[in-house]
Amino acid sequence: MPSGRSAGALPVVAIVGATGAVGVELIRCLERRNFPLAALRLLASARSAGKTLTYRGEALAVETLTEASFRGVDIALFSAGKAISKQFAPLAVAAGAVVVDNSSAFRRDPAVPLIVPEINPQALKGHGGIIANPNCSTIIAITPLWPVHRHNPIRRMILATYQAASGGGAAAMEELSESTRAYLEGRPYEPRVLPHPYAFNLFSHNSPIDAESGYNEEELKAVHETRKIYGDAAIRVTATCVRVPVLRAHSIAINIECERPITPAQVRALMADAPGVKLVDDPGRNYFPMPIDASGGDPILVGRIRADISDPSGRSVALFVAGDQLLKGAALNAVQIAELL
């Protein structure tokens, strides 16, 4: 339990980065899931101070994030970027709060649990005050695969992601909307947030590329985070991450190779009752997971499940998933972690 309060007392919750795209969804998730709290504090940069956001019908003022912001806070949900997390998360812990951090600041720290509640809730035990929320594309890819991995260990995973604008925040979503409008009206539009034209285009994920491996940062997150969350350092993972002109749901083409032969029917059966997962797999109508259906919803949609005909051993299956990047990919997963606390 968070320190500084008696057992059974409702926690005081703070959201850092409350006015951002994920911050707004954190507020909505807390309200929608009727999260039990004594008070909610909204924190952001000085330029957002004084703005109001609604929670349970009440207008809450956004406060400037300072070193003193965490007095009396029990749970702090961070979604303001890596630099802010590195600066302020230790201060929150020192003030008695438990931090659930949505940035990449602590994910690879062996002392910090990296949690997907449907997969490894037991890893919360013994946390040192900071809990990391995994990368959005990692959550969406590996949550549906967990029941398969438990039944028949996955030895290799190949991912190709189709990532939405929401992964770049509210500014990237606005750029997609504005550049699309300009394109349709025949007006020039100069990208300001992303490095390439976004309307009617797609491009390799714009995170930095590692000179040694040739993989970008987003792709390497999938590799390292999957191994940490699954508790399996031997699993082989490769990824190609691409930004596509979709507002807020990521889609991922996945190919898995299991330890033993496995059939599509077995994969469907394993996923049918998996928490946080919904099968959308209708070959007759050619209807499979789409970002338009995943947007605004909690479940990760899974379908297009089929045997990989290039693997004569029968150990490989291909599938396609879609999940809301702002919800299960970020805010919802963080709130679920807070619920476990």
Q: Flag whether 4 is in a domain.
A: no
- 79 and 181 both lie in a single domain: no
- 146 and 276 both lie in a single domain: yes
Using CA atoms, how far apart are residues 308 and 318, in angstroms rounded to an integer? 6
Q: Flag whether 243 is in a domain.
A: yes
Q: Flag whether 46 is in a domain.
A: yes
Give the pLDDT confidence score for residue 144 in this predicted structure. Answer: 98
CA dihedral 140, 144, 146, 150 (to 10 degrees): -170
Using CA atoms, how far apart are residues 259 and 316, in angstroms rounded to an integer? 9
- 273 and 185 both lie in a single domain: yes
Using CB atoms within 10 Å of the CB of residue 40, give its burial: 0 to 12 exposed, 13 to 18 middle, 19+ buried: buried
- 274 and 149 both lie in a single domain: yes
Give the pLDDT confidence score for residue 1 in this predicted structure. Answer: 40
- 279 and 316 both lie in a single domain: yes
Q: Flag whether 277 is in a domain.
A: yes
The DSSP secondary structure of 244-285, one letter per residue, reads -S-SSEEEEEEEEEESS---HHHHHHHHHT-TTEEE--BGGG
- 316 and 221 both lie in a single domain: yes
Q: How far is CA 283 from the centre of its chain?
A: 28
Q: How many domains does the chain have?
A: 2
Catalytic residues: 136, 250
Low-confidence ranges of the chain (pLDDT < 70): 1-8
CATH of the domain at 87: 3.40.50.720
165: containing domain: 140-324
- 155 and 83 both lie in a single domain: no
Q: Flag whether 2 is in a domain.
A: no
145: its two tokens: 């695969």
- 37 and 98 both lie in a single domain: yes
* Type of residue numbered 92: A
Q: Flag whether 6 is in a domain.
A: no
In whole angstroms, how far apart are CA 15 and each of 39, 83, 89, 98, 275? Answer: 11, 16, 12, 12, 26
Q: Flag whether 5 is in a domain.
A: no
- 110 and 248 both lie in a single domain: no
- 226 and 155 both lie in a single domain: yes
- 315 and 258 both lie in a single domain: yes
Tell me, yes or no, if the pTM score tops 0.85: yes
Using CB atoms within 10 Å of the CB of residue 324, give its burial: 0 to 12 exposed, 13 to 18 middle, 19+ buried: buried
Give the pLDDT confidence score for residue 16 in this predicted structure. Answer: 98
CATH of the domain at 189: 3.30.360.10
Q: Flag whether 169 is in a domain.
A: yes
- 121 and 243 both lie in a single domain: no
Length of the chain: 341
